[in-house]
Amino acid sequence: MTADNLAIIVLAAGQGTRMKSRLPKVLHRIGGRPLVGHVLTTARALGAQHVEVVVRHERDQVVKALRDDYPDAVFVDQDDIPGTGRAVQVAVDALPADFDGDVLVLSGDCPLADADTLSSFLDEHRASGAPATLMTAVVDDPTGYGRVIRDADGGVDRIVEQKDASADEAAVREINAGMYVFRATTLRTYLPEIGVENAQGEMYLTDVPELVRRDGDRVAASVVSDVSVTYGVNDRAQLAEVGRLLNARIVRRWQLEGVTIVDPATTWIDDDAVLAPDVRILPNTQILGATRIAEGAVVGPDTSLVDCEVGEDAVVRRTDATLAVIGAGATVGPFSYLRAGTVLGAKGKIGAYVETKNAEIGEGSKVPHLSYVGDATIGRGVNLGASTITANYDDVNKHRTEIGDEVHTGSHTVLVAPVRLGAGAKTGAGAVVRKDVPAGALAMTVAPQRNIEGWVEKNRAGTGAADAASRERAAE
């Protein structure tokens, strides 16, 4: 197959009424991309010379969602004549007039047709020499699909839409998958002949085979064995089902690449994520966006990573992280919340109930318990005591906190930014640090403790506390 002589038309002009959504159907997402994005990613893999997307319903929204990721795709506007036949016609008209190769027609709502399947489909079409080839499948329940009607010799005779089918025709279980290859010249010849005299008042692309046959030519059919590649999304139930199937495929791909995925049913991996061999994914984990996970890392259970980088042998459990970089051998979690711009150095630690944002945390540095670290640069070998907080917001602006190497803060330290702690500095428990601390200094801001003897027995007489205090003092 030469991609040079191939055009791909992706139909994406329909509204998708059955989705009952503000969002156009083809922009609903599975596997980290809009439905039509999967079709365009596959189209790109096939290396076609022309890729066209036919748009109409909410066309600006659809174009905006795709333009940047698929700069080579050409958007073609369908006019107010409805139907898949019209959609393909406007796309063919937008091809160079001298284009005489093959045209692969795909639907923006059928994201499971992968490049391998379509590549064999194109090969079959070319080998058969027919001017048109349909992808078909034999299914248990053909409801909603066009039926493939064969002639006495077993060749394709025509396609009948469900709404136009007789009872006999409706009983046929071989369905039109909605994916076709046509010679460009065949489409140019027959599309102008198609009318709208049918139950839906639309120009049906599915009328082309009958016209090809009328002129004595043959229509080939490629029957796929894996019916799931033909699944389309028309409603939210199908959206979930197709999303599950796509995920199962992605999970399996990584398993075969050497990733341990303990529970495929509760592991969700977006198509753009990349996992190295010997990564282990524990149950209930979502690896989303362009997340990259290096060898030997353990992620999960109960973890969501969006556009994150996880270093070799890092351990990330019960964590929610977005746009964070987790260094090699670092540990994160449980119950950690890493927001955009978090960079945790090698062998560093972000522990329980810690939130971080725009924070660079140096190699071997630890934020183990109950902290908020935002807009901070932290050196190496630092330990922030439990509940250390960077107060980065003065109610108007955000300010930075800088912490040098080997700093240790006492529990419950508040670092009021902008503030800098020099290398090796320490803070006392409960310190509220408003001024820079020089290297090697100890910052104490809490007044010395004063004990008022007998206060409880005097002021809270008769309480459990007073009784307990009396007992302990009597025993002393």
Q: Which does 159 bind (CB under 5 to 8 A by kind): ligand UD1, Ca ion, none?
A: ligand UD1
Phi, psi of 322 (to 5 degrees): -135, 135
Query: Per rule CB under 6 A, is residue 293 in the interface with ligand UD1?
Result: no
CB of 96 to ligand UD1, least distance (A): 21
Interacting residue with ligand UD1 among 101, 232, 300, 385 (CB under 6 A):
232
Residue whose Cβ sits closest to Ca ion: 232
CA distance 440 to 407: 8
Taking a C-beta distance cutoff of 8 angstroms, is the pair 312, 298 a contact? no
Q: Name which of residues 101 to 120 contact ligand UD1 (CB under 6 A).
A: 107-109
Q: Does residue number 83 form part of the binding site for ligand UD1 (CB under 6 A)?
A: yes
Residue from 40, 52, 59, 145 binding ligand UD1 (CB under 6 A): 145
In the set 38, 57, 369, 408, the catalytic residue is: 369
Total chain residues near Ca ion (CB under 5 A): 1
Q: Which does 427 bind (CB under 5 to 8 A by kind): ligand UD1, Ca ion, none?
A: none
Please report how close the Cβ of residue 94 comes to ligand UD1 at its closest, in angstroms: 13
Q: Which is nearer to ligand UD1, 78 or 319 (CB)?
A: 78
Choose the one of ligand UD1, Ca ion, none that binds residue 288, judging by a C-beta under 5 to 8 angstroms depending on kind: none
Q: How many chain residues interact with ligand UD1 (CB under 6 A)?
A: 26
| Closest CB 175 distance from ligand UD1, rounded Å | 5
210 contacts ligand UD1 (rule: CB under 6 A): no
Tell me how far, at minimum, the Cβ of 69 lies from ligand UD1, in Å. Answer: 18
Considering the complex, state which of residue 175 and residue 287 has its C-beta at the smaller distance from ligand UD1. 175
Shortest reach from residue 279's CB to ligand UD1, in Å: 36
Interaction between residue 222 and ligand UD1 (CB under 6 A): no
Span near Ca ion by CB under 5 A; candidates 211-219, 225-233, 377-385, 399-407: 225-233
Q: What contacts 454, CB < 8 A, 6 or more positions away?
A: none
Scored b (16 or more CB within 10 A) or e, 95-127 reads beeebebbbbbbbbbbbbbbeebbbebbebbee
* Binding span for ligand UD1 by CB under 6 A among 200-208, 265-273, 288-296, 398-406: 200-208
* Distance (Å) of CA 73 to CA 50, 70, 271: 7, 6, 20
Residue 184 contacts ligand UD1 per CB under 6 A: no
Determine which residue in the list 70, 190, 204, 268 makes contact with ligand UD1, applying CB under 6 A.
Answer: 204
User: Does 348 sit near Ca ion (CB under 5 A)?
Assistant: no
> What is the amino acid identity at position 196?
V
Q: What is the SS3 string spanning the chain?
A: CCHHHEEEEEECCCCCHHHCCCCCHHHCEECCEEHHHHHHHHHHHHCCCEEEEEECCCHHHHHHHHHCCCCCCEEEECCCCCCHHHHHHHHHHHCCCCCCCEEEEEECCCCCCCHHHHHHHHHHHHHHCCCEEEEEEECCCCCCCCEEEECCCCCEEEEECHHHCCHHHHCCCEEEEEEEEEEHHHHHHHHHHCCCCCCCCCCCHHHHHHHHHHCCCCEEEEECCCHHHHCCCCCHHHHHHHHHHHHHHHHHHHHHCCCEECCHHHEEECCCCEECCCCEECCCEEEECCCEECCCCEECCCEEEECCEECCCCEECCEEEECCEECCCCEECCCEEECCCCEECCCCEEEECEEEEEEEECCCCEEEECCEEEEEEECCCCEECCCCEEECECCCCECCEEECCCCEECCCCEEECCEEECCCCEECCCCEECCCECCCCEECCCCCCCCCCCHHHHHCCCCHHHHHHHHHHHHC
Q: Is 424 in the site for Ca ion (CB under 5 A)?
A: no
Name which position in 136, 176, 247, 285 contacts ligand UD1 (CB under 6 A).
176
CB of 178 to Ca ion, least distance (A): 6
Stretch that binds ligand UD1, among 175-183, 302-310, 385-393, 401-409 (CB under 6 A): 175-183
Tell me whether residue 412 is one of the annotated catalytic residues: no
Q: Does the footprint of ligand UD1 cover residue 180 (CB under 6 A)?
A: no
Q: Which does 12 bind (CB under 5 to 8 A by kind): ligand UD1, Ca ion, none?
A: ligand UD1
Q: Is 333 in the site for ligand UD1 (CB under 6 A)?
A: no
Q: Out of 6, 8, 9, 13, point to the residue binding ligand UD1 (CB under 6 A).
A: 13
Residue nearest to ligand UD1 (CB): 146
Task: Quote the distance between the C-alpha of residue 448 and its chain's center.
Answer: 54
* 146 lines the binding site for ligand UD1 (CB under 6 A): yes
Nearer to ligand UD1, 102 or 161 (CB): 161
Residues that bind ligand UD1 (CB under 6 A): 11-14, 54, 78, 82-84, 86-87, 107-109, 145-146, 159, 161, 175-178, 204-206, 232
Q: Among all residues, which ones are annotated catalytic? A: 369
Residue ranges in contact with Ca ion by CB under 5 A: 232
